Amino acid sequence: MSTPHDYLPRDPAWRTPAFAPFYKTTVHRAPRAPLLSLRNTLSEITGPVFGHDDIGPLDNDLIRNYAQDGEPVGERIILHGRVLDENARPVPGALIEIWQANAAGRYRHRNDRYLAPLDPNFGGCGRTLADDEGRYAFRTIKPGPYPWGNDSNSWRPAHVHVSVFGRAFAQRLITQLYFEGDPLIPRCPIVRTLPDPAGVELLTARLDMNAAIPFDCLAYRFDIVLRGRRATPFENRPEGT
């Protein structure tokens, strides 16, 4: 028996594998046993629902939501797009949370020891809800690349971390968006954990001149796709109904 509520199973050839030895931290952290596959139950097709009470008026404006006495330094950008599912339908009310380094590549975090400076006017944290058509937008500063300890000369491409809640816990997603044209993208071990080059394309935000604001900020477009639901032209009814 199949219910119309089941989310489409994830494609093993597309999903990011746990073990990728060139990204060294995965070596001791990747589970080795196969995942246990199961039918969706109420525990997976439900999930937290967020509303406008969860969002403050400046939460989607990283240029202003931490500003102390001026504007943060760096390239001013709009990040926008739509949240859709695999059936190409919008996901209204999706919660999108982002975090990122400042223009110099430094995070406001106790464990970030990079020598680049903190920006007193930039926190690097934002959240918003998708509207009725699945659209969302942030205003922020383009993050800088930063070095990390994977190899002796590893640099992360400029990126924004993105966390998304759709309608169900089964759709939960965390990813990173990169910026079109960055030469560090193909060199990055974390990017190279993606098994299909088409996946890298989906994580690359595109310059969107039509959404830029003249004399103010450029814009990048980033659409997000969450798991969709199985279509069931013939529904098997349980016996006795």
Instruction: Report the candidate in 74, 71, 191, 208 with the shortest Cα–Cα distance to residue 137.
Output: 208
**Which residue in 74, 145, 163, 212 binds another protein (CB under 8 A)?**
163
Cα-based distances in Å from 10 to 7, 37, 149, 197: 9, 10, 31, 17
- List the x/- string, 70-109, binding to another protein by CB under 8 A: --------------xxxxx--------xxx-------xxx
What would the two tokens of residue 48 be?
Answer: 């937290």
Q: Which residues 31-50 are close enough to bind another protein by CB under 8 A?
A: 31-33, 35-50
Instruction: Report the candidate in 54, 50, 123, 37 with the shortest Cα–Cα distance to residue 83.
Output: 50
Q: How many residues touch another protein (CB under 8 A)?
A: 93
What would the two tokens of residue 70 be?
Answer: 């001026």
What whole-number distance in Å separates Cα of residue 158 and Cα of residue 146?
A: 8
161 noted as active-site residue: yes
141 binds another protein (CB under 8 A): no
Cα-based distances in Å from 138 to 21, 41, 172: 34, 34, 20
Instruction: Report the candidate in 208, 172, 129 with the shortest Cα–Cα distance to residue 43.
Output: 172
- List the x/- string, 182-221, binding to another protein by CB under 8 A: --------xx-xx-x-xx--xx------------------
Residue 44 vs 131, nearer CB to another protein: 44
22 binds another protein (CB under 8 A): no
Residue 207 vs 225, nearer CB to another protein: 225
**Which residue in 74, 147, 175, 184 binds another protein (CB under 8 A)?**
175
- Active site residue ranges: 107, 146, 156, 159, 161
